[in-house]
Amino acid sequence: MLFRSPVTRRSAGQLTAATGMFFGKALIASDIPSLENYVIPGQTGILVPPGDPRALAQAINGFLKEEELVGFMGKNGQALEGEYRRLARNSLVDCLASLFRDRRLEG
């Protein structure tokens, strides 16, 4: 199973990509800067040039023929998304702890 993101704008699509990764889906996405940390070619999915329907069709057809590779990319993406979530949670906890510590020092 694959997850295709139709985003072609310069700064969009991260939530869509992260959702697909959370569910273990290999990604096909436009090659735009905002998705470079999500779609690692050959590891979590495939990037296609924005606005290139032929490249998109080729990527989809390739996925349909390579079931094992798609499964591999989906599992990799799911693991990467879990790591991103863990890092974000730890960063939030660190930020809140710092904020409360600074408040206590002020008061």
pLDDT in tens, 15-63: 888 888 999 999 998 898 888 888 999 999 999 998 899 999 999 999 9
50 close to 29: Cβ distance less than 8 angstroms = no
The Cα–Cα gap between 22 and 98 comes to 29
Instruction: List the structure tokens of 101.
Output: 């510590």
Confidence check: pLDDT of 6 > 90? no
- Strands 2-4 and 26-30 turn out to be parallel
Per-residue pLDDT tens over the stretch 74-94: 999 999 998 888 887 777 777
Cα–Cα separations (whole angstroms), residue 86 to 77, 81, 83: 14, 9, 5
CB 14 within 8 A of CB 88: no
